[in-house]
Amino acid sequence: MQPFLKEFTKGLWKELPPFRLVLGLCPVLAVTKSADNGLGMGAAVIFVLTLSNLIISLVRHIIPKKVRIACFIAISATLVVAVELLMQAYAYPLYQQLGIFVPLIVVNCLILGRAEAFAAKNPVPLAIADGLGMGMGFAMSLTFIGGLRELLGAGTLFGKYIMWEGFQPFAVMVEAPGAFLCLGLILCAMNAFNHWQARRKGQDAPENPMPGCESCRACSHGK
Partner 1 sequence: MEVFQLFISAIFVNNIVLAKYLGMCPYLGCYKERGVALGMGGAVVFFTIMATLCTWYIQKFLLTPFGLDYLQTIAFILVIASLVQFVEMFLKKMVPPLYAALGIFLPLITTNCAVMGVAILVQREAYDLKTSLLYAVAASAGFLLALILMAGLRERLDVCRVPKAMMGTPIALITAGLMSLAFMAFKGMIP
Interface ranges with partner 1 (CB under 8 A) = 22, 25-26, 29-30, 69-70, 73-74, 77-78, 80-81, 84-85, 99-100, 103-104, 106-109, 112, 172, 175-181, 183-185, 187-189, 191-192, 195, 205, 208-213, 216, 218-221
C-alpha to C-alpha distances, 207 to 37, 150, 194, 214, nearest whole angstrom: 32, 31, 9, 12
Query: Which residue's CB is nearer to partner 1, number 58 or number 192?
Result: 192
CA-based diameter of the chain, in Å? Answer: 62
Cβ atoms of residues 106 and 49 within 8 Å? no
Residue from 94, 121, 119, 80 nearest 39 by CA: 94
Compare residues 51 and 80 and give the one whose CB is closer to partner 1.
Answer: 80
**Minimum gap (Å) between residue 172 Cβ and partner 1:** 7
Q: What is the 3-state secondary structure (H, E, C) of 123-191?
A: CHHHHHHHHHHHHHHHHHHHHHHHHHHHHHHHCEECCEECCCCCCCCCHHHHCHHHHHHHHHHHHHHHH
How far from chain centre, in Å, is Cα 38?
10
Q: How far is the CB of 6 from partner 1 (least distance, A)?
A: 27
Q: Name, in order, each residue with C-beta under 8 angstroms of 154's C-beta and a sequence gap of 6 or more.
A: 34, 169, 174
**Smallest gap, in angstroms, from Cβ of residue 174 to partner 1?**
13
For partner 1, give the closer residue by CB, 91 or 213: 213
Choice between 49 and 218, CB closer to partner 1? 218
| For partner 1, the closer CB: 93 or 99 | 99
Cβ at position 87, least distance to partner 1 in Å: 12
111 vs 126 by CB, closer to partner 1: 111
Separation of alpha carbons 29 and 25, rounded Å: 6
Write down the least CB distance from residue 123 to partner 1, Å. 26
CB 81 → partner 1: shortest distance, Å?
5
